[in-house]
Amino acid sequence: MRTSTVRRAGTALAVTALMSAAACSGPGQGGGSRPDERAAGGAVDTASVTALQQVREKTGTARSARIEGTAEVGDSVALKQSGTIDWADGLTGSLTITYTGGTMGEALKRTGGDGSVRVRYLRDEYYAAMGDAFASELGGRSWIRYGLRDLAALGGAAGDVLKDQMHNSTPEQGVRALLASGDVEKVGREDVRGVSATHYSGTVDVAKLTARDSALNAEQLAAFKKQLAAAGVTTQTVDIWVDRDDLLVKKTERGRTAAGDFDTTVFYSDYGTEVSVEKPAASDTVDFRDVLKQQGGAAGAS
């Protein structure tokens, strides 16, 4: 296997594993919303706002759930994922991510695997295993460790925002995004995998997100908005479905970036499920920083 391919695959995995975690939670770090303040034009759907505040509280305190979903970003990524996550103290959980298409998925498949990756999220780090063929390029070790602090340092201020986003990832973030948007409506009742659910929809206008509506400080928010602007994101549509217990059962997000259109769907079930995540043995782990150093030193090798 080409050493450059190993490096590209490891980098692609870092990006898409973070994307996968973010897709579980919703966009940004929306803080306390001000539903009575809406952009000019149109009346606030106060009944929907009141209902969503209850959903945010119930979903946010549920602490854990089983998830299943898909994500696509232009020609770069197409994946599906399933597993369990816990957000009682930062994001922890175990997911199986299968890359079904896109250039990043192809980069991973060139390592000799089938496109499936096991990921374990812990509070300040996450681990990924890409199969035997990739492990053979890592001295027989199965897992790559990615430290969120290291990735934040590589990404500068925008990376710091990403680290904070990982620490605060919860399914309620999609609800918060709708509340912060000032543009939300109740669509009606629909069936979601056999569960009767209420459908809410709204549009998040990135240009109207302000520090007073965010848990980010001014510097982080500025970096986050700069990152969104660089990706070409201006607005995105968020849809959520809520069951009779005021718990989120489905969320979709759609929009456009410089890399192309994105479309994510996540289903939630089994709230309160036990989530046990073990750190892989040190003897079976290599740090991504070391992979970068090794592959950088072998950049001219084939």
Render pLDDT for 270-295 as a digit per residue (tens, 0 to 9): 999 999 999 999 999 989 888 777 65
Higher pLDDT, 287 or 30: 287
Could you give the strand order of the β-sheet that contains 260-269, starting from the edge strand earlier in sequence? 184-192, 195-205, 235-242, 248-257, 260-269, 64-73, 77-86, 92-101, 116-121, 125-129, 143-147, 285-287
Instruction: Spell out the alpha helix ranges (H) of 173-217.
Output: 173-181
CA distance linking residue 102 with residue 2, whole number of Å:
20
What mean pLDDT do residues 71-82 have? 87
Taking alpha carbons only, the member of 258, 226, 92, 211 closest to residue 156 is 226
Q: How confident is the model at residue 213 (pLDDT cuts 50, 70, 90)?
A: low
Maximum Cα interatomic distance, the chain, rounded to a whole number of Å: 63
Q: 283 or 180: whose pLDDT is higher? A: 283
Residue 247: pLDDT over 80: yes
| Cα dihedral 30, 31, 33, 34 sign | negative
255 neighbors 236 (Cβ within 8 angstroms): yes
pLDDT, tens digit (0-9, with 9 covering 90-100), for 193-208:
999 999 999 887 777 7
Model pLDDT, residue 239: 93
pLDDT reading at 38 higher than 60: no
**Angstrom distance (rounded) from CA 60 to CA 239:** 17
Q: What's the rounded mean pLDDT across residues 135-156?
A: 77
Fold (CATH) for 3-291: outer membrane lipoprotein receptor (LolB), chain A (2.50.20)
Give the sign of the dihedral formed by CA 177, CA 185, CA 59, CA 116: negative
- The beta-carbon contacts of 83-89 under 8 Å, at least 24 apart in sequence, are 83/119, 84/270, 84/273, 84/275, 85/24, 85/121, 85/169, 85/275, 86/275, 86/277, 87/25, 87/63, 87/168, 87/169, 87/170, 87/171, 88/63, 88/64, 89/123
Confidence class for position 302, pLDDT limits 50, 70, 90 = very low
Using pLDDT thresholds of 50, 70 and 90, give the confidence band for residue 265: very high
CA distances from 129 to 29, 138, 249 (A): 29, 11, 29
Q: Which of 148-157's residues contact partners 24+ apart within 8 Å by CB, and which partners? A: 148/124, 149/124, 150/288, 150/289, 151/14, 151/18, 156/223, 157/219, 157/220, 157/222, 157/223
Q: What angle do CA 212, 215, 220 make, to 5 degrees?
A: 95
Q: Is the pLDDT of residue 36 over 50?
A: no
Q: How many residues does the chain have?
A: 302
**Cα distance from N-terminal residue to C-terminal residue, the chain:** 8
Task: Spell out the domain ranges in the chain.
Answer: 3-291
